[in-house]
Chains A and B, each alone.
Chain A
Amino acid sequence: MSFVETKTEKMDGWNRPPVIVPDGEGELLEVAMGPHHPSTHGVFRMDLALDGERVVRLKPVFGYLHRNHEKIAEQASYLASMPYTDRLDYICSLTNNWAYALAVEKLVAQAVPERAEYIRIILGELTRIQNHASSIGFLIQEMGASGTPLMYAFREREKILDLFESLTGSRMMCNYMRFGGCRVDVSTAWLEAARKVIAGLPQFVDEFETLLSSNEILMARCQGVGILRSELAVNAGVTGPLLRASGVDYDIRKVDRYGIYDRFKFRVPLGDHGDVYDRYMVRILEMRESIRILEQALKDIPAGPVMDAKAKIRGFRPKPGEAYGRIEAPKGELGFYLISDGGPNPYRYRVRPPSLINLTVLEDMCLGSNVADVVLIFGSVDIVLGEVDR
């Protein structure tokens, strides 16, 4: 088998995966990994071609969970799509709500009260922490550490989901945000409970890091595996922790400063090598930064209404026009593109799913490695099939 060469920028076809020519000894083995493989996080298939142990071709196959979310949303009113956005990335329903609310608010130039912005940030960052914790847990699980790290992560996630449940009535399908604010106000008791949970989080991250970060097996399995170069990452539209692990400083919270993120002090952790270990590390550091944001938000949260008084709820018909709203969801850039023709339901409703677009470079990252590493690289991308297939 020939060596996997990397093409430098400005070469013709530099952003395509390299074609590997087998040396002709033996036969290629074709493996269909999925859609019921335990490592694929749902129903997803990879068609692999193996030359011995090495992967020489990888084609992802989608659509097992496709229900045409966009078409359904075009036939429903604007607000009626809000609970359905929960089902996109069902681990982080609150950030999906936020992205959709932000796009509609942009479409109709709707203001959001300050208290609601604070609540959104608190919930968004809690979502980020529980997503990163469980995604690292799954990653370690796929490495073979059955259960223990995942259960540590789930213990913490449970506390955060309890907070969501007591505020929104649901653990995962929250359906909480509205155009121009939030559905219900948070109580003082809830804020107190949130403070208590957040006070325990740094200890959890410390414990996680003590167990994992310098673990010899983890380092041996992750370092230098699944390298993604920064130019290719930008060109392929990769976003989120995957992009930042490749060393590209691009966080939409800092770039767009949507909501009131400009009031908070936090840093954007960056990776150096773009391998699986850097992605793991970026997620750990992002959890720490999220805790910092949460502490500041809980200190400064003002009193006031949570819904804008001028927000229109009945007979909601935006003027003709279009808007693209995006946020930094835990998995990357989640955007909603809406076109209104003046009617009660959107003329065009498009979701820009970070999970699907991050998978564009899966083949490039996996070529030349063996199947056990494919599982690991795929886990480090962090996808949810509800969002990939929509």
Chain B
Amino acid sequence: MEKIKAAIEAAVPGAGVEFVPNPGPAAEHSLRLAPTSAVAVATFLRDDAELAFDFLSNVSGVDWPDKEITEKVKVVRQVTKTVDGPEGKVDQQVEEYAEETRKRVEPGCLEAVYHLYSVAKKHGPLVLRMKTVNRSDQVELPSLTPVWRSAEFQEREVFDLYGIVFTGHPDLRRILMWDGFKDHPMRKDYVEPDDYEYEPTPHDHVLARTQEHEDRLQVSGVMDQEPAAE
């Protein structure tokens, strides 16, 4: 793995490849590519005589939602206290140590994971990953379909189910969901619709679920937002 990383950095200057360890027993470590140089790195991996990763097996999307992390922090506070002084009671500024729970939000991202093998040399897998800046408006990643054709349908699927927009893909359309569909169902925060059928008189349990759903949406404020761009 280190060798491959060194080879990439020698061949593509400024590649910005980052090593991502896998803590599990499978120990399939991966390399994170910078989106700007990904196509150049991929072409190098495919065409290099030594590495010859000519076979892209699997493309999968992964959703990492925003994480709310609660942590306890020690803070120093200025507190005014009334103290007995020589001239009666006096207000005085005193430093007090307190423990405070703070919440911070770690921004989420969408990730595309590529599993490469070599048919010519019969080695592999090499795991490549790329991640987007955030989950809402900066979701572009370069498409690797021009390098490996097998990414064509799989990247379409990732676009369909996760909403990663692959720039440079020759035919980026929805593949499994229908064309008029709005959301991306594999995201962790996807809320499924109450009823797929348009009945003139919906049953009571459908109405009850819709009401529950609408209350929840109003609390989270999802209703105010525009649906995700196609």
Most buried by B among A13, A234, A323, A352: A234
Most buried by A among B23, B119, B152, B154: B119
Interface bits A1-28 vs B (CB < 8 Å: 1, else 0):
0000000000001011000000000000
Would you call A255 and B176 a contact (CB within 8 A)?
no
The smallest beta-carbon distance between B100 and chain A, in angstroms, is 28
Please tell me the size bucket of the interface on B: 35 or more
**Stretch in A60-68, A268-276, A290-298 with 4+ CB within 8 Å of B:** A60-68
- CB-CB under 8 A from A326, the residues of chain B are 57
Closest chain A residue, CB of each to CB of B117? A255
- CB-CB under 8 A from B148, the residues of chain A are 235-237
Would you call B58 and A236 a contact (CB within 8 A)?
no
Q: Given known contacts A15-B149, A357-B154, A389-B176, is B170 in contact with A333 (CB within 8 Å)? A: no
Would you call A357 and B153 a contact (CB within 8 A)?
yes
Would you call B23 and A321 a contact (CB within 8 A)?
yes
- CB-CB under 8 A from A250, the residues of chain B are 55, 119, 122
Q: Given known contacts A234-B119, A237-B149, is B62 in contact with A348 (CB within 8 Å)? A: yes
Would you call A321 and B58 a contact (CB within 8 A)?
no
Q: Given known contacts A62-B175, A235-B149, A333-B57, is B25 in contact with A321 (CB within 8 Å)? A: yes
- CB-CB under 8 A from A15, the residues of chain B are 146, 149
Q: Which of B60, B127, B175, B190 is A350 in contact with, Cβ under 8 Å?
A: B60
Most buried by B among A15, A357, A390: A357
Would you call B57 and A335 a contact (CB within 8 A)?
yes
Would you call A352 and B57 a contact (CB within 8 A)?
yes
Q: Given known contacts A324-B58, A326-B57, A352-B57, is B24 in contact with A357 (CB within 8 Å)? A: no
Residue B150, interface by CB 8 Å: yes
Which B residues from 13 to 57 make CB contacts under 8 A with A? 22-26, 28, 54-57
- CB-CB under 8 A from A235, the residues of chain B are 54-55, 148-150
- CB-CB under 8 A from B151, the residues of chain A are 237
Would you call A324 and B115 a contact (CB within 8 A)?
yes
How far apart sit A350 and B158, CA to CA, in the bound complex (Å)? 11
Q: Given known contacts A236-B149, A335-B57, is B26 in contact with A321 (CB within 8 Å)? A: yes
Residue B1, interface by CB 8 Å: no
Interface bits A75-107 vs B (CB < 8 Å: 1, else 0):
000000000000000000000000000000011
Closest chain B residue, CB of each to CB of A70? B186
Would you call B176 and A109 a contact (CB within 8 A)?
no
Residue A386, interface by CB 8 Å: no
Residue B108, interface by CB 8 Å: no
Q: Which of B24, B127, B152, B154 is A107 in contact with, Cβ under 8 Å?
A: B24
Closest chain B residue, CB of each to CB of A350? B60
Would you call B153 and A359 a contact (CB within 8 A)?
yes
Residue B177, interface by CB 8 Å: yes
Would you call A63 and B176 a contact (CB within 8 A)?
yes
Instruction: List 10 A-B pairs, minimum CB-CB distance, nearest first.
Output: A321-B24, A237-B150, A109-B25, A323-B26, A350-B60, A236-B149, A352-B58, A63-B176, A15-B149, A66-B176
A contact residues vs B (CB 8 Å cutoff): 13, 15-16, 62-63, 66, 68, 70-71, 106-109, 232, 234-238, 248, 250, 255, 318-324, 326, 333, 335, 337, 339-340, 348, 350, 352, 356-357, 359-361, 389-390
Q: List 22 A-B contacts (CB under 8 A).
A: A68-B185, A70-B161, A71-B190, A106-B26, A108-B24, A235-B54, A235-B148, A236-B148, A236-B150, A237-B56, A255-B122, A319-B23, A321-B23, A321-B25, A324-B26, A324-B28, A326-B57, A335-B58, A348-B62, A350-B58, A359-B153, A360-B150
